[in-house]
Amino acid sequence: MSWIAVARKDFRDAIRSRMFLALAVVFGLFAVAIGGVYGYFDVFRDAGAANQGLILVSFVATPVSLFVTLTAVIIAHKAVVGERANGSLKILLSLPHTRLDVIIGKIVGRSLVLAVPALLSLVVGVGVGAALIGDLAPLPLLALLGAMVVLIVTYVSLMVGLSSMTSSTSLATAGAVGYFVVFELLWGTIGQVILLVRDYNPLDPPNWYFLYQNVPPGSAFNTILGEVLSVLAEAEQTAEQTGAIGQGYDAAYASPWVAAVILLLWIVVPVAIGYWRFSNADL
């Protein structure tokens, strides 16, 4: 259980830094702003709809998850290679820690650093919105908090895996930026271009496009969360507003379980490759 010591040290170092405080403040203001906007402005909500609390959770989830994604990339992509570059990794490995302990400890430590302010901010942000609309949905909020933990672990694992693969901070930064640009910013546009080139109607895409859409972890997360919220919805109207999963696709694989498998692969594969590279690296 040596990875626990690594994770504890990583978390303690982070909460002593100004970055952690700044992260908590920014997260808090961001979540409160989104919840407040939904609760205050009628243009963002249907005042007559049922289950406003559940729709509020769905409204807050998307922008906050994108913000979590960007933050995870920033705080985790140098988790291993940064210590390798400044020499502190040799000191860490001189203690009774294996290289696998370092990777797992970094994933747990950086996930906690991000999860604490993110979850607290979500609770406050949804609470502000719920106070304005007079409707709080506890179960959807708990579902969102649980899903957010999974999303954070996914992105932190991806970035720590990338950090373990690379031998310099420049390569790690280039890889993180490249990942974010391709999978988080351009993936949807690339998909639309592919549909047009292959003479498909973008409004009526083929079944394989469901898989394509869910390749980025953020998209897979939204698919799973949307399905969970749909199940929790009590009224059909609310279920439609939270988003029906796989709608328009006639294939057995157009289900949230496929998105869950994709999300699991994003957690496991980069870490496995990173560990393989890191375990054979000459430090």
Query: What average pLDDT values come out for the chain (283 residues) when binned by 10 residues?
Result: 84 78 82 85 64 82 84 87 84 83 92 90 89 84 91 94 91 92 92 89 84 90 85 60 54 80 93 91 74
Residue in this structure with the two tokens 């729709």, named with its chain if needed:
55
Q: Compute how many other C-beta atoms are within 10 angstroms of the C-beta atom of residue 204.
A: 9
Is 215 inside a domain boundary? yes
- Cα-atom radius of gyration of the chain, to the nearest Å? 20
Distance CA 177, CA 170 (A): 11
Is 28 inside a domain boundary? yes
Domain of residue 165, residue span: 3-236+250-280
Is 165 inside a domain boundary? yes
Is 245 inside a domain boundary? no
Is 243 inside a domain boundary? no
Looking at residue 245, its pLDDT comes to 45
Is 242 inside a domain boundary? no
Is 244 inside a domain boundary? no
Looking at residue 48, its pLDDT comes to 58
**DSSP string of 185-224, one letter each residue:** IIHHHHHHHHHHHTT--TTS--THHHHHHT-SHHHHHHHH
Number of domains in the chain: 1
At residue 40, what is the residue type?
Y
Looking at residue 88, its pLDDT comes to 83
